[in-house]
Structure formats: C-alpha cells, structure tokens
Structure 1
C-alpha cells in the first residue's frame, strides 16, 4: 500500500539528528552533548499559572489565533524587547511551537516551483517542510563566510523563482548570529521585491555579546517579514509547545486559515502558562543565558587547548567545530566517537551537505557533564 503515499512524504527522511540519536541510544556509558533543549526546568510561577488555569476550567477551545491576553502580552514584549510593533488583534498568531508556525507559514506562501533560500549548514527541520509545501530548498553555502548568510550571498543565490528567504539567527547548529548592519544590508536588498523573509528568532533571548536585532524592525521591509518565536528556549518550555508568529495583517489572515484547519488552536493550558511566562517572566531567561555563556566559554577554552577550529557562537547553545578524520564522513566519525570515546555529538551532515566535516555540540548541559564530555573529546583527539 506504500504506493498510495504522497511522493513528497516518501521523499523526505527522518531528521539526521534523531536518526543518529536513535542509533547510539543503546550504547552504555556515553556522555551525550547532542540534544538541543534547555536543561533548566520551567519557572515555578509559570507552572503554577498553568495549574490555576486547569482549576479554573480554562480547558476549552480558544480563539484560533490564541487567547487575546496572550497575544497582547506577545505584542507588548516584542515592542519592548525588539522594537517591533504588531497589532494583537490581527498580526499575532499563537502556534503549537515554532515548528508548526514555520509549517503553516510555508504552506501559506509556497506554490510548486517556488524557491526558498536558507543557509547551509542549517537546522534540518526546514527543508522537509519546504518540500511538503511544494517548494524547492536552495542552500546557500556559508562555510567560508563565518556561517553567516549575508546580503552578498543572498544576492548571488536569488532567482526569479525565489519566494522566501529563511533567516534562522541565532543559528542552530552554529550559534552564529547576524549584526544590525548585516541585517540592514539584507533588508535593503530584499525591500520592494516579491519575497517574504521568514525570520526564525526562537533563540533571540539567548544572545551574548550583542543585543538581538530583528530584521522586522527595519521599516522598509517590515511588511515582507514573518517573525517566528516562542517560549521553548527562552523559558525552558519545550514540551509546552507554544510558539507564535508576528506579521503583517494581509499575510496573517491567510496563515490563520491554514492554522485553523491544521490545529484549531494551541493548547489552552499551555497558553495560560505562556501568558505568565511572557507577561510576568520577562527576566526569567537572564539567569539561563548567563549560565549558557559560562558553559560556552568553558567549551571554547577546552577546544582552544585541543587546537580545534570553530566559529565563536554569538547565541543559542551550540558550537559547530570542524572535526575531520581521514576517510571518515561526519556520520562515521560520530559513530566512532561513541564507540571509542563514549561521547555523542551530532554529525554535521545532519544539517545539510554543507555541514560535512563538522560536528554539533550542545552546551545545554550542566558543567559536570560538559567537563566529562570535553575530557573524553580531549582523550580522543590526543590519540
């Protein structure tokens, strides 16, 4: 009966991250620095707000776009933190995590043959969604540009079929982010063209040496941008599945239709938790960010001592070192690290062909785990 399956579905694969994780999960005594989720717990006041929502019987469908108070809190937070102005009535949609927000945006925008530019290497969750929506992913090689997809590289990749550009910064897997000047150049390049920028800013609260700047803050391109964000990374709420979209009303009214028929609405209890997180927990990410900064600095110090090449991460909680062993692909090197060193990192080729020769290390782990993991890497590198 497999011949009845949609070809777009048959032609996509399980995430390389998950595939690798499943392969090595049965090995014993392995230090894993592979998973990209906060190791902190959800703030207590957020959990209490969700419990109160249950006790208050806030357990029914909400407005398709999300409860108005949450949309108002999102709008206010975006204005205060990132100088973004969005009307909570028709320019904010609460989604089932950032991933669902990306999915419904691409399904709303893309028609068969449309091209979507995205950096390579890049998080593997975008390409399958592009293909399922009938579009064609076009990876832009950033490996010789500090992993940054800048205006110059975008200009070279543009075609008359380019419909969308995905800007996922701070980046998974590299941790790299773009400067205000670099974003301004992209805005100037794209403004006025029939192109939508999908700005995945889910790591916007986890930026270290500079303030996060959203490309939507540039007036000349504001109405060509859909911003994706959420509380998964900022408030350690990955399992709550609350993301949100910010965008111009003319586009959002169509995205809302796809969202409505896809999920009706995000989970009501999770929405009330997110309301507490965004409305009263604006400073919750600060302590987490500072801890991630310490961990990042420790990992960089250890890699410097080992002579490993990397680009300094400016945000998120990943580093993407260049790890090469003769005649071994990144995937095979990942397997060897597990077998011989008891260390699990994600092979770089999980993040497109441009990730070959690299490995992703997540420092969303406590210091004791990081120390053990780096000791094992040092032992392996010293052989």
Structure 2
C-alpha cells in the first residue's frame, strides 16, 4: 500500500485549520446577537398621592330604635282597627278601639257615689258647726262633738276614695282607645275586629316599629377598643357606612355615625358590641336585615398609594419594580396599610412609574417595554377618593 505524500498531508491540515477558523469566527459574530436582551412587555402605573380613609369592616344587624307590640291593657271586644297593615303612623295616632260601655258605666257609678258623699259631708259639716256653738254653752256633750268631727273626717276620706275611683275609671276608659306610642310603621295584624281581647293574651294585636332613624349593631375585635373610645371622644362623630354586598363596595344603603360601645367585652368571642345610628328616610335599612359595615377609623393625608398588584413579596420583605428608562430597578418598600383597592406604601416618590403587571418575568436590570393599554394614574385615585 502506498503512503500519502507529504504535500497531500499538509494540504489536509491547512484545510482543517481553515474550517475550524471559519466556525470560530461565525460563532464569535453570533455571540453578541445571542446576548442581546429581549424587552419584556409590562404595564405600569404612577404613584399617586392622596388622602386615604382607613376602615374597619364587620357584619351588622339592623335594629329598630323603638319597636312596640300593641297589646290591650283592659279586657274587651276589639271594635275597630283604624290603621292598615304597613301604614305609617305618628306618635299619638288612634290605632284601635275596644268596647267601652262597661267602663263608662263604672265611671258614671263612681261619679254618682262622689256626689252622694259630697252631699253627706255638706250636711255633716253644717251639724259640726252647730255642735261647736252649742258646746260653748254646754248645750251638747263633748262626746257628741267628737263623734260629729269623726263623721266629717270619715266622709272626707270617702270623697277622696270616690275621686280616686273616678280617676281609675277614666284611666281604664282611656285604655279602650289604643294610640301609637311611637312614630313608625304598622306590622301585620294578628287579631281582627270582633274578637275578645285580654291583657293576658300571648299574641299582640300588631306591632309599630320605628324606621327612621334606625340602628345597626355589629361586633369588632377587642384590640380595637382604644380606637373606638377615641372615635367616640372625637368632636366629629365617626362615619359608618352600610352596604348590601359583602365586598362593601356596591349597593350602599346609608351613611350614619358611631353611637355607642357596649359596657363589656364578650369573654367567649373576644369582641365588643358596637352600635351605629343612621338616618333612614328612604327606608333602605330594615329591622333584622344583615348588612356589611365599614367604620372609618382614621384618615391618612397625602399618602402614597398604588394598586395591590404593584407590591411584591420577597425573602427580605416587600418590594416594587420601578421603571428607570427602559429598564427596571427593584426598590424595597414598607406597606403601611392595605385593603382590596389600594396599598399605602413608603419608599417611593409621587409620580414614579411602577410595574403593575408582568413582574413574574422580571429581575433587577431587565429591559422592559411599556404596554400602551396601561391605566391612567388618576383612575385609581378617582375611584378610591370616595369615602
């Protein structure tokens, strides 16, 4: 077998060297392109500065400030019901009447007895004067004079008893006209006219419930007791809002004020009962209704606020991604207050642009591209500026 010639071997070596050089050169040209960063699309929002109210939320029960079960105070036949179910009545309005004939007869009898006693005492008084004149000349004995004085005293007591009987009959007669003790709304009627009603009946005729103003009772943790006490001492009553929905944002039912704190804390639940009062002219709050309550506990003035998605949690605490040119920087922040709509933070400046969406792909120094559908900074501020 013939061995390859030396020139052929040299040519092969040179060819391999040229191929290797070409490959190395091409990889060197592609390396900068591979290292070029791709911009990550993000949405940003500006740090807003505004006054932010702080709230404490709870589930409350609507209570009437004054609800009365209308019951008879004397026995008798229910002759008339002068109001309809659901009717609004004022304090003092006539609601129903009872048969009063027997009580009127008793009143007339008491008045007649009073007249009889007054006539008797008139005669006894005249006799007493006569006996006193005769007693000066020993015309009658002292025993007769004393007996006549005792008779006059007895008749005077009888007159007072007759007057008391008349007053009692008049009170009983007034009970036959049932008047509303409060201003409110009439409930469902339980007894129809024509029925005999007694004071011992377990069922009332109907109820009258005050609707305006109205109260809401709710419970808060005992840790809030110092805050509640300071709110009660404040010159301006603390604002309380009632909502139909559990999220406390939609369907507002009314705005009231903190009225009182219960005089003890529940040992079983560690909560304190609180009551708020509401003007309820439109009747949107109804006794027995369950509502969501928001109690304003404080007001942070000129607070730096951002939407909750802006704030991220890391190993060392909370941080945000701040937009610096076309790159982002990780900035540690402190969360001072948070709720479902915003976070109050410290560590940034008003107007700085922070990343709102897309943080999962970011790291400090990453190049970003701001999406054009980013929300305007005033949108959040306008939405949350409503207390």
TM-score of the superposition, structure 2-length normalised? 0.23
Q: Which has the higher helix share?
A: 1
Q: Which has the higher strand share?
A: 2
